[in-house]
Structure 1
Amino acid sequence: MSVHIDIAGLPPERIVFEPSPLAELGMALHALAEPGHHPGLHGWATATAAALKPDLADRLCEADFLWRTTFSDVFMPFAGVRTGRLGRPAPTLAEELDQLDRLDDERFVDAALEFTCNHSYDAGRPSPLTDPARAAESLDLATTRGPRQADFTRRLLANPAAVRSWIRRLLEDCDEAFFADTWRRVHGQLAADARQKTDLLRRRGLPEALTAVSPALSVDEDGRRITLDKLAHGTTTAVDPGIGPGLVFVPSHFGWPHLLALHAPGWRPVVQYPVATGALPAPAPVEVLERRLDALAHPVRLRLCRNIARSPYTTGELAHALGLSAPEVSRHLTVLKKAGLVHTRRRGRYVLHQLDVTVVARLGSDFLEGILR
């Protein structure tokens, strides 16, 4: 499973790296709502949450499903507007909120309803504003998520303009309460990272620029498609004539471990990536993670791991200890070795097998980063 972005024929100047204050506000709100995803931000999240006025804290709870369980595309309106700075972020939060106001009602409602799993990433579906069946389905799905989501959906479908105004005021109040200071603190870092990636793109080419963004990003040999290694499936194009060519990479101070891809039909694709702060571990490819979890799902292989975690053993020793035939043990060891969980070394005429405890110790965080990416 991966997200693919078609870039065939995309002019190089339409690939841009640029900070987005609104996208960063969305990520900051997520870090406040889900501090467990961002242990490195625990101090900031605790201090910021404690300083919120009760009224603002209550209003954030009313809408937290827009950034807690999903990352709503309302935080990247520059990708959906058909006019403006060629689909690029604006320098200020106020300007990006103006971009949000320029989204038509159907696009805004689709983006705001992402939490219902009934949104515009399903190409060709009618808008819930014009199709009663889809409106009823959206409301049913929202009801399963909870009463706040159901009430929000009713209000959104009945009066999109009022909800848009409510959300804008909420985000403006967040800016006044904490985000303006936060943005001043992190903007320099994000702008510097965007400049560095832009320079790398121009001097060394797209493959090296993508590697610098994240090891989970790659481009095929003929330079026609970018792949994001994620536990998700999606395809989009950066050369849609209906909205204009463009691909934006948005750096985020609050992002890690998330690597986000906006790939809704009719929107320009966007990749929001975490800016490295120190030595962040490279994410394990999803294919490797699946292979390792599959390898450990068999009870015999778990018993093998118990033995070879303590000391290196030969195939014959393991067969004797587990009451199995040597060929059967060899087959299980081969699976573990292909998953990168076991290494071998030769001692005289014997081959010894031992569990790579460093890789196994990393498996839990690899799994968590993989599903959060």
Structure 2
Amino acid sequence: MSIDIAGLPQERIVFETSPLAELNLALHALSEPEHHPGLRGWASATAASLGRDLAGRLHEADFLWRNTFSDLFMPFAGVRGGQGRAGATLAQDLDLLDRLDDEQFVSAALEFASLATYATGGPSPLTDAGARARALELAAARGPQQWEFTGRLLKDPTAVRAWVRRLVEDCDEAFFADVWQRVRGVLAADVRHKTELLRRKGLAEALRAVSPAMVLEEDAGGRRIRADKLADCQATAVDTAVGAGLTFVPSHFAWPHLMILHRPGWRPVVHYPLGTPELPAPASVEVLKLRLEALAHPVRMQLCRSTARSPHTTGELANILGLSAPEVSRHLSVLKKAGLIVTRRRGRYVLYQLDVRAVSRLSSDFLEGVLR
């Protein structure tokens, strides 16, 4: 994954905190504690403390943070005519979210329905019947609650926008205000350190401090940041339509995820983790051998990446990878036999998802690679 920064002034590269972006990762850790072994205690205690009404509403909208990290949580990147800066408070971040138009809001909220065209864009489900039908079909595969939410969003985005804002505000009251009070000092200190590193030693050194997976490349083809992720995507930090700029946002909850917002028409954002918690002990030699043999194929590596972030049907995976459904089924069977893939049925759909706990026991390097 690369970010074009040719001609970008260094002062347009900023490190800053974002309460709304941090809430996104906190909600993800609540929904997927297996992605975050070091946070299981916090996730269990926080989930147990939630009231029934709030827990139900979080379950209804958890596709915004469980399977993908919705760009709604970094609205500062999409605001037209703005400075591309995150809010200092959660309320300010929410005000920026209100400034997104309905097209931006809906396309970001339904990111799960457009993963195959995320980097290139596509017709809006608000105005295109085919895109609308596709969004509803994909939502139905993930259960009646998500299907109902998607239908409400497409019918009345204004009402759902108000519902989402109230949900975030209730999360703040229930648990996040205390969380932010605890972590914001550490995040702010990291921002100051990285900003000073950028000023004194340059971007290459600052990138090394952000993640060993990020490097600066400069050659005859231009100047770019490259991230070592299992994805083939490009972004630009010099889009005049939205305004030049690149933002780095640290997170207490993110590890092992290194996220890069690369939606067309939005400023790119690098959301990076602080710290690397301990993982469980490795599996037996016999299990290790079986699983490594299962992973010794580039297609199965890509299947692990896709199913680590979201449960998918065979047809969805075939569409994402550009393969036939029978070929994808054969690779899924190998991964399932090795105990790396789990399945569950939703109506007439069978969903496949990576068993993150099994992968974490296999290799922390592999887990970090597919979830990065």
Q: TM-score, normalised by structure 2?
A: 0.76
- Secondary structure of the residue aligned to 1:273 is strand
Does structure 2 conserve the Cα–Cα contact (< 8 Å) formed by 1:142 and 1:149? yes
Deviation string, structure 1 residues 88-146 (Cα, Å, up to 9, x no partner): 11100001001001100000000000122358624241211111121111111221222
- Whichever residue aligns with residue 270 of structure 2, its letter is V
Matches within 5 A, 1:1-373: 3-84=1-82, 86-117=83-114, 121-222=118-219, 224-276=223-275, 297=296, 364-373=363-372
Deviation string, structure 1 residues 21-72 (Cα, Å, up to 9, x no partner): 0000000000011111111112211111111111111111111111001100
Q: For residues 175 and 267 of structure 1, what CA distance do their matches in structure 2 show? A: 26
Q: For residues 295 and 146 of structure 1, what CA distance do their matches in structure 2 show? A: 30
Structure 1: gaps of 5 or more residues: 281-291, 299-360
Say if 1:105 and 1:45 are closer, same or farther in 2 by CA, change over 3 A: same
Deviation string, structure 1 residues 323-344 (Cα, Å, up to 9, x no partner): xxxxxxxxxxxxxxxxxxxxxx
Q: For residues 362 and 29 of structure 1, what CA distance do their matches in structure 2 show? A: 24
Say if 1:278 and 1:27 are closer, same or farther in 2 by CA, change over 3 A: closer
- Whichever residue aligns with residue 37 of structure 2, its letter is P
Say if 1:146 and 1:296 are closer, same or farther in 2 by CA, change over 3 A: closer
Q: For residues 247 and 109 of structure 2, what CA distance do their matches in structure 1 show? A: 21
Q: For residues 238 and 122 of structure 2, what CA distance do their matches in structure 1 show? A: 21
Q: For residues 363 and 227 of structure 1, what CA distance do their matches in structure 2 show? A: 27
Q: For residues 218 and 238 of structure 2, what CA distance do their matches in structure 1 show? A: 19
Does structure 1 conserve the Cα–Cα contact (< 8 Å) formed by 2:217 and 2:225? yes
- Secondary structure of the residue aligned to 2:248 is strand
Structure 2: gaps of 5 or more residues: 280-290, 298-359
Q: 1:211, CA displacement in angstroms?
A: 0.5
Q: 1:293, CA displacement in angstroms?
A: 5.4
Say if 1:119 and 1:179 are closer, same or farther in 2 by CA, change over 3 A: farther
Structure 1 residue aligned with 2:301: none
Say if 1:120 and 1:248 are closer, same or farther in 2 by CA, change over 3 A: farther
- Secondary structure of the residue aligned to 1:219 is strand
Does structure 1 conserve the Cα–Cα contact (< 8 Å) formed by 2:235 and 2:262? yes
Does structure 1 conserve the Cα–Cα contact (< 8 Å) formed by 2:250 and 2:273? yes
- Secondary structure of the residue aligned to 2:363 is helix
Report the structure number with the largest CA radius of gyration.
1
Identical counterparts, % of pairs:
69
Say if 1:293 and 1:14 are closer, same or farther in 2 by CA, change over 3 A: farther
Q: For residues 54 and 294 of structure 2, what CA distance do their matches in structure 1 show? A: 48
Q: For residues 13 and 106 of structure 2, what CA distance do their matches in structure 1 show? A: 28
- Whichever residue aligns with residue 229 of structure 2, its letter is K
- Secondary structure of the residue aligned to 1:145 is coil
What RMSD, in angstroms, separates the aligned Cα atoms of the two structures? Answer: 2.2
Say if 1:44 and 1:124 are closer, same or farther in 2 by CA, change over 3 A: closer
Does structure 1 conserve the Cα–Cα contact (< 8 Å) formed by 2:257 and 2:272? yes
- Secondary structure of the residue aligned to 1:221 is strand
- Whichever residue aligns with residue 199 of structure 2, its letter is R
Q: Which moved further from structure 2: 135-144 or 207-216? A: 135-144
Q: 1:194, CA displacement in angstroms?
A: 0.6
Does structure 2 conserve the Cα–Cα contact (< 8 Å) formed by 1:113 and 1:119? no
Say if 1:150 and 1:77 are closer, same or farther in 2 by CA, change over 3 A: same
Deviation string, structure 1 residues 224-249 (Cα, Å, up to 9, x no partner): 11011111121110000000000000
- Whichever residue aligns with residue 125 of structure 1, its letter is G
Find runs of 4+ consecutive structure 1 residues off by over 6 angstroms: 277-280
Q: TM-score, normalised by structure 1?
A: 0.76
Q: For residues 152 and 96 of structure 2, what CA distance do their matches in structure 1 show? A: 22
- Secondary structure of the residue aligned to 1:271 is strand
